[in-house]
Amino acid sequence: MTRMFVLALVVLTTGPLAAQSGGGRPPADLIAAREAVWRAYFEGDSARLVELLPERMNGMDGQHRADIIRDARAFVAGGGRFVAITFVDQDYYAQGDVAITWARYRVQLRNPDGPFEMNGVAIELFERQGGRWLNPSWHLHGDR
Domain spanning 3-8+20-142, CATH architecture: Roll (3.10)
% of the chain surpassing 90 pLDDT = 72
Spatial neighbors of 10 by CB under 8 A, at least 6 apart, are 95, 98
Rounded Cα distance, 113 and 101, in Å: 33
Q: What is the 3-state secondary structure (H, E, C) of 94-125?
A: EECCEEEEEEEEEEEEEECCEEEEEEEEEEEE
Phi/psi of residue 105, nearest 5 degrees: -120, 155
| Domain extents in the chain | 3-8+20-142
Q: What element of type H or E holds 41?
A: helix 28-42
Mind listing the pLDDT tens digit for each residue in 10-62? 444 444 434 555 555 678 999 999 999 999 999 999 999 999 999 988 888 88
Euclidean distance between CA atoms 94 and 20, whole angstroms = 5
Per-chain mean pLDDT for the chain: 86
pLDDT tops 60 at residue 124: yes
Are 112 and 34 in contact, with CB atoms under 8 Å apart?
A: no
pLDDT digits (tens, 9 = 90+) for 87-102: 999 899 999 999 999 9
Kindly tell me if the per-residue pLDDT of 77 is higher than 50: yes
